[in-house]
Amino acid sequence: MLADYRVNIYNPENGELVDVLEAWRRLEFRHIVNAPGWCRFTTNAFSNTDAYINTAPIEVWRRLSDYKPIAVSSDYRRTGNWYVEWSGLIGDTVESVYENGDRDLTVYCDGGLDLINRRNVLWYASTSSSESKKVAIPAQTAIYQFVEENCGASATEGAGRITTGTIASLDIPVLIGAGDNWSGIRAWRNVLDVIQEIGNARDIDFDVVSLGDGRWQFLTHTEQIGENRTTNGLDSATGLNSYGNAPVIFSLEQHNVARVTYKTANRGSATFVAALGKGQYGARTVGTYTNSDKFNVDRRVNQREITRNATTQDSVTELETVAEEWGARMSPSDDFKFVPLLGSKNTVYGHTYWWGDTITARYNPRSIELDKRLVGVTIVVDKNGEQFRSWDFLTIPRT
């Protein structure tokens, strides 16, 4: 299965396309859901090194020789069978010259969400609802506000932020109102860290996508970035699931899995979390979270307890939010992992599924069927062609 790649470089000042790279020694990039990801490439093409400057937007375009990119989200640009597989900004460059006269240039890039990672919540802490404190508002609204107030038009000294942080090339649409309520104080914290905590706790996805002319757009998704391609609600008559998609199934029997491993993981987990707030001795406020599904409430042998300081929070509700976030992060798990086998026509990356999608995986030796989401993937392109270096599938509970 052959895939073609090219790399577009844009001028960070005016958004003009300044270089199209179609040959390199090595190109490698990684997707991570709700995180910037990264890209690096090495080339000996020194004809236009001035294009590879700090903050220059970069796009990695991909095309499958025999398939259309029907699984690719509409938020990512397409031209014919070409589509933007990865986008970000140039950071570091390393130029090397060898004794024999050879030269090469290695360029290190960060994904578009690094624009959010470059900002902190630089508003003074408050006891009431403010730019640093959100009180019982929908999770999507909290994410939007933290981003807009530190990266958007409201991020100015005149409005009360300690320094102006407006990113002129970043469009932040008003996407609010979805998700369960969230409360918390996050003054002085990194904005990306904050919205990751909110998104992971309330099932809200987000990304920064390239608009193609040096501009970017911040988007939130009330379900997930990708599509649900599981067997949930499968209609035998239409072959489609309850989301209207054809299911993608990975299993040894489908001949699209190279290896499967099954693991029960409990060590290093936590089933009870106490978040410690303000006050001393018996007057100290505490918020708790109990993952009672993961231990026997009569014997409590597997009740694993941790405490975390959260003295910046004002109320028990805010402390319970912190405890819940830690509990979700450290939950015990029974899981199996698999490595997709490339070459199978019914599971073609970019055609039948893509990063962010949720698929169904089967482990028949234990009669297990789980829904798993592709939350991370690393791709390498060199003289040997396209290689998938790593896959990260996260188990998603069925509802």
Which tokens hold the place of 95?
């130029």
More confident: 53 or 59: 59
- pLDDT for 45 equals 62
Please give the full DSSP string across 120-155, using - where no structure is assigned.
B--S---SSSSSSEEEEEEHHHHHHHHHHHHHSTT-
Residue whose C-alpha is closest to residue 292's, from 276, 270, 325, 309: 270
Kindly indicate the confidence band of residue 226, based on its pLDDT and cuts at 50, 70 and 90: very high
Residue 297 binned pLDDT confidence (cut-offs 50, 70, 90): low
pLDDT digits (tens, 9 = 90+) for 346-378: 899 999 999 999 999 998 777 788 899 999 999
What CATH number labels 267-331?
Answer: 3.30.1920.10
Half-sphere exposure of 273 (CA within 13 A, CB side): 22
This prediction's pTM? 0.84
| Mean pLDDT calculated for residue range 202-216 | 94
CA distance 21 to 7: 5
Domain boundaries, the chain: 3-111, 117-221, 228-264+334-396, 267-331
Q: Are the beta carbons of 85 and 28 closer than 8 angstroms?
A: no
- At 223 the pLDDT is 77
Local confidence band at 399 (pLDDT 50, 70, 90 cut-offs): low
Residue-level pLDDT at 25: 92
Measure the CA–CA gap between 16 and 319, rounded to whole angstroms: 48
Average pLDDT over every residue of 214-240: 93
Average pLDDT (177-205) is 94
Q: Is 244 left (phi over 0), alpha (psi -120 to 50) or beta?
A: left
* pLDDT (tens digit per residue) in 308-352: 999 989 899 989 989 988 888 888 776 778 889 887 888 999 999
Q: What is the pLDDT of residues 139-184, one digit of tens each?
A: 999 999 999 999 999 999 999 999 999 999 999 999 999 999 999 9
- Mean pLDDT computed over every residue of the chain: 90
